[in-house]
Amino acid sequence: MKMVSALTVRKQFGLILDEVAKGKEPIAITRANRPMVVMEPYAVYEARTNQEARRKRLTEVARRMDELVERNAKYLKKGPDAVTLIRKLRDSR
């Protein structure tokens, strides 16, 4: 990751903005040799944000499925779980 001082960013904002937008690598902006913020291309930010949102949704779905299984445990038949069944289906292809 490239490090750039805040003063340099102030003086060459357009150039640095173009560099970030064209490249895939983020640039850290420093003040007093301490990293303060990171500039990254919008596509990278969007992909990371979408991935985090997807992870949160999947975690919530898994939690709700676990609650459903617990609530209906007495009605469920004992046998192989869903993961085992899916693996068997994949292997049979």
Domain at 29, CATH number: 3.40.1620.10
Q: Which 8-state DSSP code applies to residue 80?
A: -
Domain that holds residue 75: 44-92
% of the chain surpassing 90 pLDDT: 41
Does the predicted TM-score (pTM) go above 0.75?
A: no
Strand order, beta sheet including 27-31: 2-5, 27-31, 34-39
Looking at residue 68, its pLDDT comes to 83
- How far, CA to CA in Å, does 64 sit from each of 9, 24, 61, 85? 47, 37, 5, 20
CA–CA gap between residue 40 and residue 24 (Å, rounded): 8
Residue 33 sits in the same domain as residue 12:
yes
pLDDT per position as a tens digit, 59-90: 998 888 888 878 877 777 677 777 887 888 88
Residue 49 sits in the same domain as residue 62:
yes
